[in-house]
Amino acid sequence: MPLFNEKDECSLVEALKMYIPDVEELLNPPVVEAEIIAAESLIGFQFPYEFRKLYMKHNGEGEQVMGVMAGFRWITLQSVTGTWKWRQDLPYDIISGKLDAVKEGGYKKGWIPFAEDGGNSLLIMDLEPGAKGSYSQIISLDRNTNISYVIAESFGQFIESIVSELRTGDLNPTDMEEVIYVHRKRGHLFDDLPKLTNMQNKQNCLTPVSGFWAEYFEDKLEEGCISTEMLIKQKRVFIGFELAEKHGVVPLGLLTRMPNLKELIIHTGNIANYDVLKQLPGLTELVIGGSSFTESDLEHLVYLEDLRELTLARLSLKDVHKLKDLKKLKSLRLFRMDSINSKTIGALVNLTELSLEELEAGDLSYISNLKQLKKLELKKVEISGFTFMKDLKNLTIFRTDRRATDESDMAALGELRKLEEFNYPVGDLSVFQNCLSLREIGVNAQKFSGLADIRRCNLRGITIFEATSEEHAKSIVAEFSKYFNLNSYEWSAL
């Protein structure tokens, strides 16, 4: 049902007329389009057609009617912008009541307040929704919780629901002498949110827990149970070795009741079944460090469509090419993966960050396939030479704690024009004379040359390798300071 019919009559106003025949006189007079445009310019978002038109019919409630917006007071356009300004600087930490429907964190610029309950709770038209939300959805901003719920999929749909409740009598205008108050028979709108948002569990629903989870949530339990509201708030879960060893096998099923879980860290092999992971599509960061995770369990990770960062540690995996199906995976860290066939890493062409630590990495030629790579870290990894890096044109950061056995091919690194940090004991600095983005570099204190050749770089920090003493390191800093204004330096021995 459209908000306005062919006669330009507003369905909300017409429904109110059933109870308040002179309601149009009790609502505020309209704003002009110039005022709408000014508000849009201030906020930085254009309002939907129906929202604009409603305010160009009536600028909120007058003093003699209250609660038009499902028991909330419909505020004027001037109050919309004033409230919007004030809320921008408040320290919110919003959690979405529905996975990825509402952007989390602070108050967003696209959140347009249009109704308030008199107690600091607001109805918001969301013009900056989450990935699974909808433009102009109506969301709650509740003084009693930082969880925000989607009340209606659009502004028009929300008005339709008000019209429907007026017709059924669930919204009932009552004349209280000096003011007509539109109240909900079922109480405050926000008391009804679990039902309105089609949540599977009401907020006050309790789930019994035992073993690992009972101790993990020990200060949040109610008679041995954890509330759904508390589970909804969980963004990060850490399953540590000591607590897991104390309780034996840890069941992961409870994680499926945490719709806002973004980061999961598992540092134990005492896991009952990893197939629960495929029921956690909202995960963006995952660390697995338990020996019970096998190659077949990689299949479960393919379901994690939003996974961006993955760490695999101390696992007996040989082949990781299945991870190529994780299109959003950008960062991969592999630690002590003794059995891995490192060549399978070359299939993960979407990676922008790769860290290999304490493993047999082979000749590293497969890394040349990772053309989108921006950050590369090799820790306690043998490096035969630098040929594998020559095609990494997007690389900005390279760090290692090992010397290459052959440095004769370092000249190719001079073509990495986006390079900002090269943490390696460089001898011939002139290699990087065309890397004008370079901000930090490592230098071999025992033998380095070409310092004047890189003077066009804007170096801000250096790492000094193989310095014999702090005095030796400071003498190197003095040499660099002739050409650069250094903010910091470090020195270490390989």
DSSP strand pairing (122-126 vs 111-116): antiparallel
The answer to whether residues 141 and 148 touch, using CB atoms and an 8 Å cutoff, is yes
Taking 70 as the threshold, does the pLDDT of residue 487 lie above it?
yes
Q: Indicate the helix (H) or strand (E) that contains 400.
A: strand 397-400
Burial of 167 (0-12, 13-18, 19+ CB in 10 A): exposed
pLDDT for 200: 38
Tokens matching residue 494: 């390989």
The answer to whether residues 403 and 385 touch, using CB atoms and an 8 Å cutoff, is no
Q: Taking the CA atoms of the chain, what radius of gyration do you get in angstroms? A: 30
pLDDT for 45: 96
Burial of 98 (0-12, 13-18, 19+ CB in 10 A): buried
- Tens of pLDDT, residue by residue over 240-283, are 999 999 998 999 989 988 888 999 999 999 998 898 998 888 89
Whole-number Å distance between alpha carbons of 339 and 462? 36
Could you give the 3-state DSSP secondary structure of residue 337? coil
Could you give the 3-state DSSP secondary structure of residue 446? coil
Reported as a pLDDT band with limits 50, 70 and 90, residue 439 is: very high
The answer to whether residues 85 and 75 touch, using CB atoms and an 8 Å cutoff, is no
Least confident of 82-91, 197-206, 342-351, 470-479: 197-206
Contacts of 463 (CB under 8 A, 6+ apart): 423, 440, 441, 442, 443, 489, 490, 491, 492
Domain residue spans in the chain? 11-196, 383-494
pLDDT for 6: 83
- Mean pLDDT over residues 460-467, rounded? 94
pLDDT for 203: 44
Neighbours of 158 (CB within 10 A): 21
Contacts of 443 (CB under 8 A, 6+ apart): 425, 426, 429, 462, 463, 464, 465, 476, 480
Taking 90 as the threshold, does the pLDDT of residue 7 lie above it?
no
pTM, two decimals, is: 0.66
**Between vectors from CA 130 to CA 124 and to CA 131, what angle results, nearest 5°?**
150
- Tens of pLDDT, residue by residue over 368-416, are 999 999 999 999 999 999 999 999 999 999 999 989 999 999 998 999 9
Instruction: Quickly name the fold that domain 11-196 has.
Output: SMI1/KNR4-like (3.40.1580)
Reported as a pLDDT band with limits 50, 70 and 90, residue 145 is: confident
DSSP state of 20: -
Taking 60 as the threshold, does the pLDDT of residue 199 lie above it?
no
Whole-number Å distance between alpha carbons of 344 and 342? 5
CATH number at 383-494: 3.80.10.10
pLDDT for 341: 94
